Amino acid sequence: MIAASHLTRQFGTRVVVDDVSLTVGRGELVALLGPNGAGKTTTMRMLAGLIRPTRGAAAIDGVELTERNGSRLRRRIGFLTEAPGLWDRLTVRENLEIYARLYDVARPSAAVDALLSQLGLSEHASMRSAELSKGMKQKVALARALVHDPDIVLLDEPTAGLDPEIAKHVRDLLEERRAAGCALLVSTHNLDEAERIADRVAVIQHRLLAFDHPDALRRRFARGRVRVRVAGEASRFLAIARSFDREASAHGAALTLQLADAEAQTSGLVRQLVSAGADVVEVSHERAGLEDVYLHFVKPDPEGVSA
């Protein structure tokens, strides 16, 4: 539905986003991960048609975003900016209704009422934005991004600084939008959140370092550590384990070893243990977390500036 094709953005001589290509399909949620200054916000701004790529293009359903068609295509996008950016002197309702009209919503009041209710903001509708807590401001900003019922949603750190309850509420809302067929691109520092909600994960540090399903990424970086629990003393079968890994060890009923390719070698290991008379009770693979994947790719950035 929305695609980045070789997106590149330079500021002077500094390349902030370098040849990034990714797609977000209908009913898909992609998490954009990367350290501060990695180019996440710049990528999102290019996808939202707010800034021009130096090279490459952003496209919606195959139509390239340009200055000429920007106004028409932006109507399909809901963009949560890094800062909430609410008009402080206006109430929550006024903020949302004015944005609903800016997005050409046919019945702005009704759309705002529905959204306020859905997000549990009805009680705060008459409060001025300046009076809201940081978390509530973020929630209102999210409501603003969704007020025109967009089919593409770009959210720049939607749960940053939110308490767990509101963050959960936001995640639920994203799930609903995904179920409704929206394409969602969500930048976050919260790896646990990305692991839980994302269909695919894009790791970016100026360049796109990885882009795949979380499970596939984890498998790719699984450490290959296998633990086999047998009935009785495991040391009886240590020789077999050491034929797979010379460093294998036995502690009580457990054999622990490192396999070069855990997916492929585990069945062979179990077969040999059983042939040698072992009663295999449990085999477990130590799985890599998204954090391991992230840390594998992301290197300290000496520039470390906001981008």
Partner 1 sequence: MNQRIRALLQKELIEVARHKSSLLPIVLVGVYCLLLPFVLTIVLPRVTGDRLGEDPDFVNVAGRSFGMYPHLSADGRVQTFFFQQFLLVFLVVPVSVAMSAAAHAVVGEKEARTMEPLLATPLTTAELLVAKVLGALLPAVIVSAPGLLLYLASIAVFAEPGVFQTMMTMRSAATVVLLGPGLALIALQLTVLIASRVQEEDTARQLAILSLLPLGGIIFAQFTGRVWLSAAALAAAGVGLIGVWLLLLVLSVAVFDRDAVLTRWR
For the CB of residue 120, give the shortest distance to partner 1 in the complex, in Å. 21
**Phi, psi (5° rounding) for residue 91?**
-75, 170
Minimal distance, residue 32 CB to partner 1, in Å: 17
Query: Hey, what are 250's tokens?
Result: 């036995």
287 Cβ neighbours under 8 A, 6+ residues apart: 218, 222
Provide the residue type at 198 as one letter.
Answer: A
Choose between 7 and 48: whose C-beta lies nearer to partner 1: 48
What count of residues does the chain have?
307
- CA-only gyration radius of the chain, Å: 24
Q: Which C-beta is closer to partner 1: that of 88 or that of 163?
A: 88
Nearer to partner 1 by C-beta: 286 or 303? 303
Q: Which residues bind partner 1 (CB under 8 A)?
A: 11, 45, 48-52, 71-72, 74-75, 77, 79, 81-83, 85-90, 94, 98-99, 101-104, 141, 144-145
Q: Assess contact for 112 and 140: CB atoms under 8 A.
A: no
On whether the CB atoms of residues 57 and 64 are closer than 8 A, the answer is yes
Calculate helix-pair angle for 92-102, 108-118, nearest 10 degrees.
130
Min dist. Cβ of residue 12 to partner 1 (A) = 10
- Give the C-alpha distances (Å, rounded to integers) separating 100 from 113, 261, 277, 287: 11, 54, 71, 46
Measured from the CB atom, the residue of 231 and 305 that comes closer to partner 1 is 305
Q: Which is nearer to partner 1, 52 or 299 (CB)?
A: 52
Q: How far is CA 45 from CA 84, 186, 240, 248, 269, in A?
A: 15, 12, 56, 50, 51
CB closer to partner 1, 79 vs 237: 79
Separation between Cα atoms, residue 40 and residue 21, nearest integer Å: 13
